[in-house]
Structure 1
Amino acid sequence: MKNVNIGIESIGIYVPETIQDYRYIGKESGIPEDVILNKFGIRGRHKALEDESVSDMAIKASIKALGDTNPQDIDLVVYCGSEYKDYYLFNLAAKVQESIGAVNANAFEIHSLCSAGVYSLKVVKSMMRDDENINTVLLVTSSKETDLVNFKNERSRFMFNFGDGAAAVLLRKGLNRNIILETHMVTDGRFAEDVACYNIGSKAFHNDGCSCNEIMLDVKDQKSMKDRLDPVSLKNFYTVIDNSLKKSGYTKEEANYIAPIFMKKSMLDEILNEYGLTEENSFILQDYGHCQSADAFISIVEGIENGRLKEGDVTVLLGAGTGYTWAATTVLWGEVVLDQ
């Protein structure tokens, strides 16, 4: 069982119909439209309606991913999306399990912020190989973090590109297609408290002056975080990509497609150039915004639809989350059989 392939059978994505474009973001934030469009790298983001919950979006993406699969055949539902969910201290994975009719499945959650989707592929793959009773898994991520972004807070400007959306990945043991290979992660805990909703949690529990309107994502010291992050971020992206490829038996020259987390175009261009690739070997999420850990999965779906992701491509899914963590997972895309 240790060497059996774990493959991606399907990916479903869901984004709300409402779009807030770069003009809207510019007006609300006071930042010039051309800066939002060119420096932030976003043309528009999807915004969920007030009564559309994080679980609503997760369920819609899950139904798309399932297709004709009988939900009763699912052994495990894993949620790896935003910690901002329908309720505080709430098991969203169990909500999805019940809502889609996966009555035979267990359910639990993995949290690593915006790197969780990419890293959870490793966790789920390992579980499936080690447990003969886990053959089909639904991995789900969803985010409505636009609720937590205050356009008037200059410290949080790097979050103005957040968008709402969800993705679900159906994984199957013994599937010799879209095979999940190896993962690498880098963690730098110096950034652990740089970004948070500081007015909720055990440290703020007795803060009588806190109101719900104050529960917003914030940055303690934007300049300090940027000064520490800029010198290491690109290097850590290279480290996780290089090591994910190496563990999977490939050199950096053999990478064919990068499925990235949302990032500004200039950084993505640098990453692509490092691996001898161009924009045609990736997908820029400029019409989605940053949908938390769904980003890489959206890039996979768009890559297929746009003819950029092809059979046999060595594909690297790339994530990064405040905290700070960087993660990459290599997937051999298409119908393949690996030597065991």
Structure 2
Amino acid sequence: MTSLEDVSIYLPPKSIPIDRALSDLDVPDAQIRLFQRFYGFSHIRRDPETPLVDQMLATAAGLTALRGREEHVRYVVQALTIPVCAPYPENPVHEVRRALGLDHAMAFCLTQHACATGLLAVDVCGKLLAGDDDPDAMALIFTGEKAYTAYAQRYIVDTAVMGEGMAAVLVRQGGERDRLLAFASRVHGQFNAAPWLPNELAREFDRMYPEALAEVILAALAQANLTLSEIVLILPHHVNHNSWKRLSKKIGMPIERIFLDNLSIMGHCYCADSFINYRTVREDGRLRRGDYYMMVSVGLGATFSAMVFQH
């Protein structure tokens, strides 16, 4: 059974009010006020002086379970929202692999599920490790990207403001905690042009969003043979607060059990949100041994994904 051996995060020290971040991109004042007053966004993290590779290495430095066990790492994976994460000819995942002394490991990127690719990476790495003869074999996954272009820094209309923040995840087979019990994912390909959808399709996506997200959440619960009442927390991706209220009403789950504390102060950190939230609730003591929780994310395009774990 796939499990999370360790999760470490890196948050840039610079916190920027979203009105300043978005005004630099010529976002209309009315849209900025909408994000602040109704969608729950206040600040984002940015670290313009620190290259992506250095951010990734800073994230990996917090993985205590990696120290002294580097020879067991079989894969180094970068889970990306945007296919190109650095200017040519830089190749961050290979640079990080060398810097960490993991030249023996295979390195590759995943991009197919946009902001849900982090969950996809956990599933893919678990399946790859299941065929390894070494019971201690691990995969190292990096999530989160650096907003190095105006395109990458842009907000998603009526959805999210993009910030910087990273998570490094060690995945293995076996393990005593954070065991992956179920994974459900569905692609609604008619929305593949997002975020540049024509108005009619954009309205249809907004209408079906809570229903599609509820579908994968309930499918993952069915796989795990659990009910929603047994889930202690949902660790979400950071899209606007209203969308989570709609989901809460749709599935009948109290909004207090959808962890939204980080949304206002971090923005949407690409694939890293759920893992950053995991570290927060674990450090705050909100997860006890044996608790069931979920990670949930949606990628533009449109991929809806949900995972069930037992802490």
State if a TM-score over 0.5 links the two structures: yes
Q: Is the 8 A contact 2:77 2:109 kept in 1?
A: yes
Change in Cα spacing, 1:156 to 1:75, as seen in structure 2 (3 Å) is closer
CA distance in 2, matches of 1:89, 1:249: 47
2:238 aligned to 262, 265, 269, which one? 262
Find the residue that maps to 2:76 and give its secondary structure: strand
Q: 1:289 is matched with which residue?
A: 267
* Same amino acid, percent of matched pairs: 20
Q: 2:254 aligns with which of 272, 277, 286?
A: 277
CA distance in 2, matches of 1:183, 1:150: 28
Q: Is the alpha carbon distance of 1:189 and 1:176 closer, same or farther for their aligned partners in structure 2, counting shifts above 3 Å?
A: same
Residue in structure 2 matched with residue 7 of structure 1 by the alignment: 3
Instruction: In structure 2, give the amino acid aligned to 1:325.
Output: T
Q: Cα–Cα, structure 1 residues 66 and 79, in superposed 2: closer, same or farther, change >3 Å?
A: farther
Query: Is the 1:45–1:163 Cα contact (8 Å) retained in structure 2?
Result: yes
In structure 2, C-alpha distance between the alignment counterparts of 1:234 and 1:38, rounded to whole Å: 21
Aligned equivalent of 1:92: 92
Residue type matched to 1:164 in 2?
E
After superposition, where does 1:2-151 map in structure 2 within 5 Å?
A: 5-25=1-21, 27-28=23-24, 29-32=27-30, 34-49=33-48, 51-66=49-64, 69-70=67-68, 71-82=70-81, 83-88=83-88, 91-111=91-111, 112-133=113-134, 135-145=137-147, 147-149=149-151
SS of equivalent residue, structure 2 residue 12: coil
Q: Which moved more, 1:324-333 or 1:87-96?
A: 87-96
Deviates more, 1:184-193 or 1:26-35: 26-35
What letter is aligned with 1:326?
A: F
Residues 122 and 171, structure 2, Cα contact 8 Å, conserved in 1: no
Query: Following the alignment from structure 2 to structure 1, what is the Cα–Cα distance between the partners of residues 152 and 169?
Result: 31
Matches within 5 A, 1:121-270: 121-133=122-134, 135-145=137-147, 147-149=149-151, 156-158=156-158, 161-195=161-195, 219=196, 221=198, 223-270=199-246
Aligned to 1:216: none
Kindly state the Cα deviation for residue 280 of structure 1 after the two structures are TM-superposed.
4.9
Structure 2: gaps spanning 5 or more residues: none
Paired letter, 1:130 = G
Structure number with larger C-alpha Rg: 1
Q: 1:116 to 1:162 in 2, by over 3 A?
A: same
**Cα deviation digits, residues 121-180 of structure 1 (max 9, x gap):** 1111111112324711111112123633499x8x95346610012111112222121111
1:298 to 270, 276, 283: 276
User: Distance between the aligned counterparts of 1:72 and 1:60, measured in 2?
Assistant: 20
Asked if the contact 2:244/2:255 (under 8 Å) is kept, the reply is no
Cα-Cα RMSD: 2.5
The 8 Å contact of residues 53 and 85 in structure 1, kept in 2 or not, is answered as: no
Q: Which amino acid aligns with 2:266?
A: Y
The one-letter code matched in structure 2 to 1:144 is K
Q: CA deviation at 1:27?
A: 4.2
Distance in 2 separating the partners of 1:280 and 1:301: 16
Q: Deviations over 1:180-232 (max 9, x none)?
A: 1211111011111233xxxxxxxxxxxxxxxxxxxxxxx354x3442121121
Report which stretch shifted further, 306-315 or 285-294: 306-315
| TM-score of the aligned structures, taking structure 2 as reference length | 0.87
Kindly indicate whether the alpha-carbon contact (under 8 Å) linking 1:74 and 1:136 is maintained by their aligned counterparts in 2.
Answer: yes
Q: 2:295 matched to which residue of 1?
A: 317
Asked if the contact 2:160–2:238 (Cα under 8 Å) also holds between the matched residues in 1, the reply is no
- CA shift for structure 1 position 238: 0.5
Distance, in Å, in 1 between the alignment partners of 2:223 and 2:90 is 36
Length-normalised TM-score, structure 1: 0.80
Tell me the alpha carbon deviations over residues 95-134 of structure 1, each in whole angstroms, 9 at most, x when there is no partner.
2211212233221111121000112211111111123247
Q: Is the 8 A contact 1:281 1:308 kept in 2?
A: no
* Post-superposition offset of 1:318: 0.5
Distance change >3 Å, CA 256–CA 275, structure 1 → 2:
farther
1:27-77 Cα shifts (integer Å, max 9, x gaps): 44232564222223111001121x423332222212212456223332211
SS in 2 for 1:107: strand
Cα separation, partners in 2 of 1:55 and 1:254, compared to 1, 3 Å: same
Amino acid at match of 2:214: Y
Gaps of 5+ in 1: 196-218, 334-340
Q: CA contact under 8 A between 1:181 and 1:248: conserved in structure 2?
A: yes
CA contact (8 A) 1:255 1:316 kept: yes
Q: Does the CA contact (< 8 Å) of 2:233 and 2:259 recur in 1? A: yes
Divergent runs of 4+, >6 A: none
